[in-house]
Chains A and B, each alone.
Chain A
Amino acid sequence: MKALQVISSAYRCTIEEQDDPAVWITHAMKGQGAELGVVLRGNAVCYSIEGQDASGISFGDWQQTNPPRLDRDIASLVDKGIDVYVIEEDARERGITSSAFMPGLKPITRAALAGLFAEYDQIWNW
């Protein structure tokens, strides 16, 4: 069984969780032998670029350590052999060109999603 993880929501609870739950669960399931691909869609296309820094949060005397590193977490999916696609039009709408994507990420058009979906048994939209 192969599932395509379509990640559409972004920056929702990343400070509290120190990661994105959809990205995290992709890593966790891959570690259990899951066959997965990933599509970054909607605001989640913003995870495709380097240089994201969520450090520096503090509440009173309490300092948050280990801030989320979404760029690292996405790059690490690629390192694990997971195909990670980024929807070009969604990125362009948000001022990101595909040349800015991190190495290893695969640009894909909205129209090409139908073909990609055909390669997977199930489509999981997060």
Chain B
Amino acid sequence: MSDKKALTFSIMDGPFEQARIVTVLRMIDIAAKRGYKISVFAYEGAVSLPFAKQAQHPNAVHGNDLAEENHPLAKDWIAALMKTARDNGGELDWINCGLCVDERGMGDAIDGVRRGTPGDLWSCASESDNTLIVGTR
């Protein structure tokens, strides 16, 4: 194992439903800024996080048009984390559970996302310094 840490995360939640994703992405942000090797196994609803067709909207309640609101999208967060990891000499390998993608019709993911199986979670975890499983409720 290299001197750069390797860490694996597994998440199960989609965007806009709960707070877990933000916390996990904050942890991944720390790892990306340190140039660590990061593996994410997106299981169940989490495969929708990097879905390419997510779109911003205006918010009349806030009185903001589309640009002013600048509504956050999980796919953009993930793209930014991938870039940050690369810029710092690391890597963010985002693996979407293939069966979970198919049943949700989430095949259109942003660049850098690949399909995988639970075997990928096990192999990433086995090769990592640590693993964090974030279940859903």
Q: Do chains A and B touch in the complex (CB under 8 A)?
A: yes
- Assembled-state Cα–Cα distance A33/B117 (Å): 13
Q: Hey, which chain A residues are within 8 Å of B30, CB to CB?
A: none
B45 to chain A, nearest CB (A): 9
Q: Chain B CB within 10 Å — which of A12, A21, A33 has the most?
A: A21
- B136 lies within 8 A of A12 (CB): yes
Of B47-55, B65-73, B80-88, B122-130, the one contacting chain A is: B122-130
CB-CB under 8 A for A28 and B119, given A1-B125, A3-B125, A122-B130: yes
Chain A, range 60-95, C-beta contacts under 8 Å to B: none
Query: Could you say which interface size class chain B belongs to?
Result: 10 to 19
- A13 lies within 8 A of B44 (CB): yes
Q: Is B12 an interface residue (CB 8 A)?
A: yes
CB-CB under 8 A for A8 and B135, given A21-B43, A25-B43: yes
- B119 lies within 8 A of A29 (CB): yes
Q: Chain B CB within 10 Å — which of A13, A31, A124 has the most?
A: A124
CB-CB under 8 A for A122 and B131, given A9-B136, A12-B136, A25-B43: yes
Chain B, range 72-115, C-beta contacts under 8 Å to A: none
Q: Specify the chain B residue showing the minimal Cβ separation from A33.
A: B122
CB-CB under 8 A for A122 and B125, given A21-B44, A32-B118: yes
Q: Hey, which chain A residues are within 8 Å of B43, CB to CB?
A: 21, 25
Q: Is B137 an interface residue (CB 8 A)?
A: yes
B96 to chain A, nearest CB (A): 14
- Assembled-state Cα–Cα distance A25/B12 (Å): 12
- Assembled-state Cα–Cα distance A29/B10 (Å): 14
Q: Is B133 an interface residue (CB 8 A)?
A: yes
CB-CB under 8 A for A124 and B131, given A9-B136, A13-B44: yes
Q: Hey, which chain A residues are within 8 Å of B137, CB to CB?
A: 9, 12
Q: Hey, which chain A residues are within 8 Å of B12, CB to CB?
A: 21
Q: Is B21 an interface residue (CB 8 A)?
A: no
Q: Hey, which chain A residues are within 8 Å of B118, CB to CB?
A: 25, 28-29, 32
- Assembled-state Cα–Cα distance A5/B125 (Å): 13
Residues of B in contact with A (beta carbons under 8 Å apart):
10, 12, 43-44, 117-119, 121-123, 125-126, 130-131, 133, 135-137
